Chain A
Amino acid sequence: MGKIIVTTSGKGGVGKSTSVANIGTALAMLGKTVVVVDADVGLRNLDIIMGLESRVVYTSMNVIDGECELEKALVTDRRVDNLKLLAASQRNNKTDIQPDQMKEICLQLSETHDFVLVDSPAGIEQGFENASSAANAALIVTTPEVSAVRDADRIIGLLQAKDITDLQLIINRLNPELVKRGDMLNQFDVLDILSINLVGIVPEDTEIVGASNRGLPLIYDGTSGAAGAYRRIARRIDGQDVPIPEFKAGNWLGNLVGKLLGTN
């Protein structure tokens, strides 16, 4: 039985889908069988970020309506063939699927894959309920901002109330320059409130937008800061012990050297 991990945040736009796409790809590159499930019915993005939009024929809605077998709805990734995507319907909305139905799909997928990564929509309503229905673990994504942390705290409370105890935090879009100026929370401020295990920090990376638009997850770019972070997070999720590097501000020479050497 594979692990079913829901990636959620409460707040919108903090990097859930981006994280699922990159971590899913990284895990597959480590040799695991991975299926990523887009639970954002009606506002799906996962297929776009992974560059698989044109390959989606059937969605989870078709499976639930009995129009096709689950296997048939899975889209194999263009670049890594042990990575699959179950897309969400763009025509329906979140009330068209019930938690039980999502749960059944996720449980079925976990029988044949090492990891089932469920991309939850923002919010705490039915979309979140559907996405977390089968989860036995959660990845909580937050940015180092007061409103995002407030929402993450709420969602952690809801997950704990569902007895999901394997909770890991990703702090996304950390900008060491802003932290140094005192304009942005640092990781300790965030952990002080959220009090859960930190699985990784992803630094602010201007390459993310381009990658998302081109449908090429950043994980393939060896020099990008965020790519390195996602690779390390995937290894930690896989159980490896990888230390979290310190992100320092404004050392352009150091950053340049790091970029050239690929150690970022």
Chain B
Amino acid sequence: MKDSTQAVSTGSVVRLKGFRDGLRLMVDASASVEEIEIAIKERMGNLGDSLAGTSIVIDTGNQILSDSDLEGLRKLIYETYGLEISPDPMPSQPAPETKLEKSSASAEGQQDNVTDEQKIIERVIPAKKRVVSNSRHSDADVHQPDLPNREATCIIRHSLRSGQIERFFEGNIVLFGDVNPGAEVVAGGDVIILGRLRGLVHAGALGNIDSVIVAMNLVPTQLRIGHLITRPPQSGFGNKKTLPEIATVENGSIVVKAFNGF
């Protein structure tokens, strides 16, 4: 996947991380704009439209991109992927690599510019709806920050009706209830539905095909894991399945089996 003629590997120019129900694009601003754009296209190319409408924050750490460069990126991301750029709610969170490279003096000077430019918005997640447990970052996360944090799980304690969408790119989702047809659940990690899955679920939404989907009654309109999509076999309305099932990726395609425990 790495092009050996490129001066900088795309893996370190751009990193895509889930952050609650939105995305953070960590950009190495020392790369050229062309390199950044190529890296963005490679990273986000096949993520499909589960991301449409999601808010994304461009994080350049302690570096700054020029206004025109930033505007160019915003335009590219909005027009190509339908993602809206949001102001950064946590402006002083540099990508692990850039933190090591910058000296403290220059970091301070640039820090002021960064906070001047960006408005700080407090993001409030309704407490009654979600519990985020165990957000310790594992070692794997530091070295490969693109993977969802497998220990971060969002628990949703109600059913979803048609038209409702729940997203948690940071990690897994556990839902106590049903997912009705027309509803969507999108997670960076696994999705466990303790009820009837009749809508659409996308697990591993940032590209992880080792994510799983489990439901007490798996009768979805569509299943997606990573960049793979599958639909159930044609059967009329009124599905009478009653066994729990698990969907995983085997040999490049999604397979569904009876679920008897992990």
Chain A residues with CB under 8 Å of chain B are 146, 150-151, 153-154, 156-158, 160, 182, 185, 189, 193, 195
Report A229 CB to chain B, min CB distance, Å.
Answer: 24
Q: A153 to B237, Cβ gap below 8 A?
A: no
Q: A153 to B182, Cβ gap below 8 A?
A: yes
Choice from B159, B161, B237 contacting A154 with Cβ under 8 Å: B161
* Extra 11 A-B pairs, beta carbons < 8 Å, given A146-B237, A185-B238, A193-B181: A150-B182, A151-B162, A153-B161, A153-B182, A157-B163, A157-B164, A160-B161, A185-B237, A189-B238, A193-B180, A195-B159
CA–CA, A193 and B180, complex, Å: 7
Q: A157 to B161, Cβ gap below 8 A?
A: yes
Closest residue of chain A to B238, judged by CB?
A: A189
Q: A189 to B162, Cβ gap below 8 A?
A: no
Q: 10 closest A-B pairs (Cβ-Cβ)?
A: A157-B161, A153-B162, A154-B162, A154-B163, A153-B161, A153-B180, A150-B162, A150-B182, A157-B164, A146-B237
Chain B residues positioned under 8 Å from A158 (CB to CB): 163
Report A130 CB to chain B, min CB distance, Å.
Answer: 19
Interface range on chain B (Cβ under 8 Å from partner):
10 to 19
Q: List 11 A-B contacts (CB under 8 A).
A: A150-B162, A151-B162, A153-B162, A153-B163, A154-B182, A157-B161, A157-B162, A157-B163, A193-B181, A193-B198, A195-B159
Chain B residues with CB under 8 Å of chain A are 159, 161-164, 180-182, 198, 236-238
Chain A residues positioned under 8 Å from B180 (CB to CB): 153, 193
Chain B residues positioned under 8 Å from A146 (CB to CB): 237
CA–CA, A47 and B238, complex, Å: 39
Q: B181 to A150, Cβ gap below 8 A?
A: yes
Report B256 CB to chain A, min CB distance, Å.
Answer: 22
Chain A residues positioned under 8 Å from B181 (CB to CB): 150, 153, 193
CA–CA, A160 and B182, complex, Å: 16
CA–CA, A151 and B162, complex, Å: 7
